[in-house]
C-alpha cells in the first residue's frame, strides 16, 4: 500500500487542490486506507521523509514532525518519530522540542534532564558539524530554566569565543538580577570567566578589544571594579602594541570606561597622548558622558565644554561636523538635551546638521522620549531622515493602543519641505512608513496615507523599488481587510513587473509579488509566482548552520508551502514542497510545513503546580570529556510533580577564580534629563 503512494503524488501535482468531484470529495474513489492517509498531512510528510536516503535529511524532516505532534498533545506519536531519527545531531534538535514541551507543561526538572540527553548527542565530534549551534541552543534553554551551572558549562563547549562571551554576559546579567545574594556574587565570577575567554581571542582586532571593554562595563555594573580594572588594563596593553583602523575610537571608549572605575588619571593620559584634534574632542566627550553617568554631572558639563572647544578648533568641515555630532550624541545620552540641540545648531550645513539631529533623535527614541524626538523633526527637512524618527515612534505609540495617532505621525513624514527628497532617500523611507502603517496604523487612514505614498512613486530610482512599495501597500491593505484596495495595488505591481522580466532583480520582484499574494489570500497565484522564480545555485551554508540552505526559488516555495499549511490546505502545501528539486532543501521544507499545520494550543499548568526552578550556584567547570552518543528515549508520561520547596539556605558560593578585592558600591543613579528647548542660531 505504501509503495503505491508515490504514484498518487504526481497525479496530485497536476490537480487543482480546490477541484472536487460531483459529490464534492476528491478522494472518494480511493480505498479507505489510502483515503485516510491522504487526509492526514503529517502521515504524508512522514512517508515523504522516510523516502529520503540521507539520515541527516530524514532527521531534519522528522524533527519537524516531532514538534508538530507535541503541539497536538500527542507525545506517543512524537516518540515514534523520534525513534526513526538516526542522525545524532538532528535527534538532539528533536529533543529540544521535547524539552520545550515539558517546560510549557511545568515539568521543569524533566525538561532539564531532557536537555542533558540532548547535550550528550550534540557534544563531542558533533559540535564541528554545526559550529556548536545546537549546544548554544541547549545553553540558552538551561539559562531559561535558571540552571546556571549547566548553562555555564555548556556555554564553554561552544567553539565560537564571541558567542561564548555573549552567553556568559547574559548569564551574568540574569544572576545579577537575582534576589539571592550568593547569585549576585556568582555574576562577578561568570564575568571573570568571560574575561578569560576574551583573552583567548586571537588575533587582536577591533572586535576583540570592543568585547573586552564591554566585559569591563558589565563588571562595573556587577560591582567588580578590581576585575574591571584588570580587564581594561589588558585591553590598554593591546592597544599600545597594535595599530589598525578604528584604534583611536577604541581608545576613546577605553578612556570612558576608565572613568566608570574612577581612574581619571589613566583616562586623561589617553587624551593627552592623542594628536588628532577630532579624536581628542570625541574622547573628551565620551569621558564627559561617563562622568555624568557616574552621577558627577558637574564634571561632565565641564568636560563637554572642553570637548566643544576642541571641536571648534578643527578647520576641516567634515572632521569638525563629525566631532560635533559625537558630542551631540553623548550629551543626549545623559539628558543634556538643550546643550545637544544648541551644539547641533553650530553645524551650518543643512545635511550634516540634519544627520546630527537624527542621531540625537535615535538616542531619544531608545530612551522612549518620543515627544522630544518628534520636536526634532521640525528641524530635519529631508523625508528619508524624518521617516527614521516618525516610523519607530509610530510603532511604539501604535503598540500602546493609539493607532490613529500612529497613522497621523506617519502622514507627517510626507509633509512638504523646502528640500526635495532624493530618490535613494525615498526608496528607504516609503517601505519604512508602509510597514509601520501595516503593523500598527489605523485602517481608516490607509487610503489617505497611501495616496501620499503613491504620489511619490514616479520619483523612485527604479522599477524594483516601485514594485516593493506597491506590494507593501497590498500587504498593508490585506491586513486591514481592504481586499479590493489590496488587489488594485497588486495589479499595478504586476503591470510593472511584466516589463522587467530581464531585470537582474527579477527574482526579488517575483518574491515581493508572491509575499503580497499570500497576504491577499491568493495562494494558488502565489504558488504559480513562486514556481516562476528562476532556479539558481544554492548558496553555501554559513558557519554554524545545520539546516539546508535555500536559494531564492526554494525560499519562495517554502513561503507558499508554509502559508498553505497554516490555512490547512495540505494538498497545496505538499505540492509546493514537491516542486523543490534539491533534496536537502525539500527535507527542510517538510519539517517547516509539519510545524505549520494548525494544532491545538497546550494549556499551561497552574503556576502553583509547577516545579520550583532550581537556582543553584555555579561550580568550577569540569574538564571537557568525550561525549558518548546515546539513544534518546522519549520519557513516559508523568504525573504532575508536587511543588518543590524553596531552599532553606542561600546556595553555596561559586568556586570560580576569586576576585582581587571586595566589590565597590554600585554607581549612583543618573541625573534626570531636562525637557528639550529648541533654539535657533
Residue 212, all three cell numbers: 573586552
pLDDT score of 261 more than 70? yes
Cα–Cα dist 430/315, whole Å:
37
**Residue 207: count of CB within 10 angstroms of its CB:** 10
Contact 215, 198 (CB under 8 A): yes
pLDDT averaged over the chain? 83
537: Cβ–Cβ under 8 A, 6 or more apart, which residues?
Answer: 551
301: Cβ–Cβ under 8 A, 6 or more apart, which residues?
Answer: 288, 292, 336, 339
Query: Which range among 79-93, 108-122, 153-167, 658-672 shows the weakest confidence by mean pLDDT?
Result: 658-672
**The pLDDT value given to residue 619:** 53
Within 441-547, where are the H helices?
A: 446-455, 463-479, 483-498, 506-520, 523-532
Residue 31: in which H helix or E strand, if any? Answer: none
**The pLDDT value given to residue 50:** 87
Q: What is the DSSP letter of 125?
A: G
303: Cβ–Cβ under 8 A, 6 or more apart, which residues?
Answer: 284, 285, 287, 288, 291
Query: Which range among 348-357, 434-443, 485-494, 667-676 shows the weakest confidence by mean pLDDT?
Result: 667-676
**The pLDDT value given to residue 197:** 95
pLDDT score of 526 more than 70? yes
Query: How does pLDDT run across 210-245, given as a tens digit for each residue?
Result: 999 999 999 998 889 999 999 999 999 998 888 877
Contact 69, 100 (CB under 8 A): no
Q: CA 413: distance to chain centroid?
A: 27
Cα–Cα dist 679/681, whole Å:
7
Q: SS in 3 state form for 537-553?
A: CCCCCCCCCCCCCCCHH
pLDDT band at residue 29 using 50, 70 and 90 as cut-offs: low
More confident residue, 632 or 204: 204
Residue 149, all three cell numbers: 551551572
Cα–Cα dist 63/676, whole Å:
54
Please give the share of the chain, as a percent, with pLDDT higher than 70.
82
pLDDT score of 472 more than 70? yes
pLDDT band at residue 422 using 50, 70 and 90 as cut-offs: confident
**The pLDDT value given to residue 681:** 35
Bin 460: left if φ > 0, else alpha if -120 < ψ < 50, else beta.
beta
pLDDT score of 181 more than 70? yes
**The pLDDT value given to residue 25:** 60
Cα–Cα dist 135/153, whole Å:
11
Query: How does pLDDT run across 287-299, given as a tens digit for each residue?
Result: 999 999 988 999 9
Contact 391, 383 (CB under 8 A): no
CA distances from residue 513 to 14, 240, 380, 429, 495 in whole angstroms, order as listed? 23, 54, 34, 20, 11
CA-atom Rg of the chain in angstroms? 29
pLDDT score of 442 more than 60? yes
pLDDT band at residue 656 using 50, 70 and 90 as cut-offs: very low
Query: Which range among 34-43, 249-258, 386-395, 649-658 shows the weakest confidence by mean pLDDT?
Result: 649-658
**The pLDDT value given to residue 664:** 36
Amino acid at each position: 500500500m505504501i509503495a503505491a503512494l508515490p504514484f498518487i503524488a504526481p497525479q496530485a501535482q497536476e490537480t487543482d487542490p480546490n477541484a472536487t468531484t460531483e459529490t464534492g470529495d476528491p478522494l472518494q474513489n480511493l480505498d479507505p486506507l489510502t483515503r485516510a492517509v491522504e487526509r492526514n498531512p503529517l502521515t504524508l510528510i512522514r512517508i515523504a521523509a522516510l523516502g529520503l536516503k540521507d539520515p541527516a535529511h530524514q532527521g531534519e524532516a522528522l524533527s519537524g514532525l516531532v514538534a508538530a505532534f507535541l503541539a497536538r498533545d500527542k507525545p506517543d506519536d512524537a516518540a515514534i518519530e523520534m525513534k526513526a531519527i538516526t542522525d545524532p545531531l538532528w535527534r538532539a534538535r528533536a529533543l529540544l522540542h521535547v524539552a520545550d514541551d515539558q517546560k510549557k507543561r511545568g515539568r521543569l526538572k524533566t525538561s532539564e534532564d531532557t536537555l542533558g540527553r540532548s547535550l550528550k548527542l550534540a557534544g563531542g565530534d558533533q559540535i564541528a558539524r554545526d559550529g556548536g549551534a545546537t549546544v548554544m541552543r541547549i545553553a540558552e534553554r538551561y539559562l531559561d530554566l535558571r540552571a546556571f551551572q549547566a548553562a555555564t558549562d555548556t556555554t564553554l563547549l561552544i567553539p565560537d569565543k564571541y558567542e561564548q562571551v555573549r552567553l556568559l554576559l547574559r548569564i551574568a546579567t540574569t544572576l545579577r538580577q537575582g534576589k539571592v545574594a550568593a547569585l549576585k556574587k556568582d555574576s562577578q565570577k561568570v564575568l571573570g570567566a568571560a574575561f578569560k575567554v576574551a583573552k583567548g581571542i586571537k588575533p587582536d582586532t577591533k572586535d576583540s578589544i570592543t568585547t573586552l571593554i564591554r566585559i569591563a562595563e558589565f563588571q562595573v555594573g556587577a560591582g567588580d571594579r578590581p576585575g574591571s580594572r584588570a580587564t581594561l588594563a589588558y585591553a590598554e596593553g593591546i592597544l599600545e602594541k597594535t595599530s589598525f583602523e578604528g584604534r583611536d575610537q577604541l581608545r576613546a571608549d577605553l578612556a570612558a570606561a576608565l572613568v566608570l572605575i574612577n581612574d581619571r588619571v589613566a583616562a586623561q593620559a589617553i587624551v593627552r597622548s592623542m594628536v588628532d584634534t577630532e579624536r581628542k574632542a570625541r574622547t573628551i566627550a565620551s569621558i564627559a558622558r561617563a562622568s555624568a553617568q557616574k552621577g558627577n554631572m558637574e564634571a561632565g558639563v565641564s568636560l563637554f565644554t572642553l570637548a566643544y572647544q576642541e571641536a571648534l578648533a578643527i578647520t576641516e568641515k567634515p572632521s569638525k561636523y563629525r566631532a560635533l555630532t559625537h558630542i551631540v550624541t553623548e550629551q543626549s545620552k545623559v539628558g543634556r538635551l538643550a546643550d545637544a540641540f544648541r551644539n547641533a545648531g553650530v553645524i551650518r550645513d543643512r545635511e550634516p546638521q540634519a544627520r546630527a539631529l537624527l542621531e540625537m533623535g535615535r538616542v531619544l527614541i531608545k530612551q522612549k522620549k518620543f515627544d522630544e524626538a518628534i520636536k526634532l523633526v521640525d528641524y530635519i527637512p529631508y523625508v528619508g531622515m524624518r521617516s527614521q524618527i516618525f516610523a519607530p515612534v509610530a510603532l511604539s505609540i501604535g503598540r500602546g493602543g493609539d493607532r490613529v495617532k500612529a497613522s497621523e505621525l506617519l502622514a507627517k513624514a510626507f509633509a512638504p519641505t523646502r528640500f526635495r527628497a532624493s530618490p535613494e532617500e525615498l526608496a528607504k523611507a516609503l517601505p519604512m512608513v508602509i510597514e509601520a502603517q501595516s503593523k500598527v496604523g489605523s485602517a481608516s487612514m490607509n487610503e489617505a496615507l497611501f495616496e501620499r505614498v503613491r504620489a511619490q512613486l514616479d520619483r523612485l530610482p527604479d522599477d524594483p523599488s516601485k514594485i516593493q512599495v506597491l506590494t507593501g501597500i497590498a500587504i498593508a491593505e490585506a491586513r486591514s481587510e481592504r481586499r479590493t484596495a489590496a488587489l488594485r495595488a497588486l495589479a499595478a505591481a504586476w503591470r510593472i513587473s511584466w516589463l522587467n522580466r530581464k531585470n537582474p532583480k527579477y527574482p526579488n520582484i517575483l518574491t515581493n509579488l508572491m509575499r503580497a499574494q499570500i497576504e491577499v489570500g491568493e495562494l494558488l497565484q502565489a504558488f504559480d509566482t513562486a514556481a516562476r522564480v528562476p532556479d539558481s545555485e544554492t548558496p553555501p551554508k554559513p558557519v554554524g548552520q545545520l539546516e539546508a540552505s535555500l536559494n531564492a526559488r526554494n525560499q519562495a516555495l517554502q513561503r507558499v508551502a508554509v502559508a498553505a499549511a497554516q490555512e490547512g490546505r495540505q494538498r497545496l502545501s505538499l505540492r509546493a514542497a514537491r516542486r523543490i528539486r534539491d533534496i536537502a532543501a525539500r527535507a527542510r521544507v517538510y519539517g517547516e510545513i509539519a510545524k505549520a499545520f494548525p494544532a491545538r494550543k497546550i494549556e499551561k499548568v497552574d503556576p502553583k503546580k509547577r516545579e520550583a526552578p532550581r537556582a543553584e550556584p555555579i561550580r568550577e567547570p569540569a574538564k571537557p570529556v568525550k561525549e558518548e552518543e546515546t539513544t534518546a528515549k522519549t520519557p513516559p508520561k508523568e504525573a504532575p510533580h508536587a511543588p518543590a520547596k524553596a531552599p532553606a539556605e542561600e546556595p553555596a558560593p561559586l568556586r570560580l577564580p576569586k576576585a582581587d578585592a571586595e566589590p565597590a558600591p554600585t554607581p549612583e543613579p543618573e541625573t534626570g534629563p531636562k525637557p528639550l528647548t529648541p533654539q535657533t542660531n
